[in-house]
Structure 1
Amino acid sequence: MAGSSHGHTPAAWTGVTIAFIGFCVSGAFMVLANPLGFWAGMVVVAIGGVVGMAMKAAGMGAAKPAHDDLAKVIAARSA
């Protein structure tokens, strides 16, 4: 994975950070037995996914390699 820079983009970092905050909020409110706060945290998790996808669409995510590029990477790794 390190060779392909999987997840090393601003879009990935931002989306995961927002989702992590949402999971923390949901976990805290679940312990406090507050369903409204739990669901608010889950909404933040969903927002993290939307923000990550929007940033990727805006060009801040990794571009998928073309078929020829992928073949070159596989050939280089096997050599």
Structure 2
Amino acid sequence: MAGSHAGSPKSWLAVVVILAGFTLGGVALCLGPNWPLVWAGVGVIAVGGVIALLVDIFSDVIVDAPRVIGAEKVERKS
């Protein structure tokens, strides 16, 4: 994915798993709190972290050269 900061699908899989665990834990806290579901969410987040380490998510970012945008000449009326 040259020219993009989007990341690869395998990295997005790790992000989606972590987000699902966070959502599960957040909903469980609002439902009582329901502590077994909170800890299940923590477990899902941990699994997502392991996936992130396995797919080497931190080396997935592609850094582009800085973009230079030319300034347009603006005519001001006095």
TM-score, normalised relative to structure 2: 0.62
Q: Which structure is higher in helix share?
A: 1
Name 2:41's counterpart in structure 1.
Answer: 41
Matches within 5 A, 1:55-74: 55-56=55-56, 62=60, 73=65
Superposed CA RMSD in Å reads 2.7
Name 1:30's counterpart in structure 2.
Answer: 29
Rounded Cα–Cα distance in structure 2 between residues aligned with 1:7 and 1:63: 8
- Greater RCO, 1 or 2 (C-alpha within 8 Å, sep 6+): 2
Which runs of 5 or more residues in structure 1 are unaligned?
A: none
Which runs of 5 or more residues in structure 2 are unaligned?
A: 69-78
The answer on whether the counterparts of 1:16 and 1:48 sit within 8 Å (CA) in structure 2 is yes
TM-score, normalised relative to structure 1: 0.61
Identity of aligned residues (%): 29
- Give the count of matched residue pairs: 66
| Larger of the two Rg values belongs to structure | 2
Report the residue type matching 2:45 in the other structure: V
